[in-house]
Amino acid sequence: MHTKLIRTRAGAFAATFSTAGLAMLEFPGGRNARAVASRSRSGENAAWIRQTRAALDDGLAGRDPRELPPLDLAAGTDFQRRVWRELLKIPSGRTRSYGEVASRLGKPGAARAVGAACGANPVPVLVPCHRVLASNRTLGGFSGGVNWKQRLLAAEGVGVGGK
């Protein structure tokens, strides 16, 4: 695994890559983002870094990424990976509730488990867990903090209630 700072207009995200693809993305100011030097490391895949930067730029501008880097979601459970794949189907500017995602997975009543999977999402922004809201259309939680969730949704033209 190697970590690279991906500089965007919103700050430097720490992107951790495995041999399979992007395994973790951390918001600016996070522990890894503060600790990582942005110099090249052996084993880097320049194409994946470019794809990650472009996908972040799209996501931060409120657009669906034109292309995602390969995603390594192996750290999740089977259920978490199913949730994350379902989140990739939510288009920019649209939201779903935790319960709606659970129902789409054939697991009605698993809204809390969907929320936990969203909280464990290793690549926020690119796997758009910010598009999942509480059933009353309030923000709920977010791994990067509710300010980031609100900011990402606002860029997509989505207005929501408070926490």
pTM for this predicted structure: 0.89
Task: Say what percent of the chain tops pLDDT 70.
Answer: 89
Check if 118 is active-site: no
Torsion of CA 123, 73, 104, 135, to 10 degrees: -30
Q: CA 146 → CA 10, 132, 141, distances in Å?
A: 15, 12, 6
Helices 46-60 and 146-155, packing angle to 10 deg: 80
Q: How far apart are CA 90 and CA 74, in angstroms?
A: 21
| Residues 6 or more apart in contact with residue 83 via CB below 8 angstroms | 101, 105, 114, 117, 118
pLDDT digits (tens, 9 = 90+) for 84-122: 999 999 999 999 999 999 999 999 999 999 999 999 999
Q: How far apart are CA 144 and CA 43, in angstroms?
A: 28
pLDDT digits (tens, 9 = 90+) for 55-70: 999 999 999 999 999 9
Please, which pLDDT band fits residue 40 given cuts at 50, 70 and 90?
very low
Burial class for 105, CB neighbours closer than 10 Å (0-12, 13-18, 19+): middle
Q: Which of 110, 129, 132, 153 is catalytic?
A: 129
Break the chain down into helix, strand, coil percent, rounded to 5.
35, 15, 50
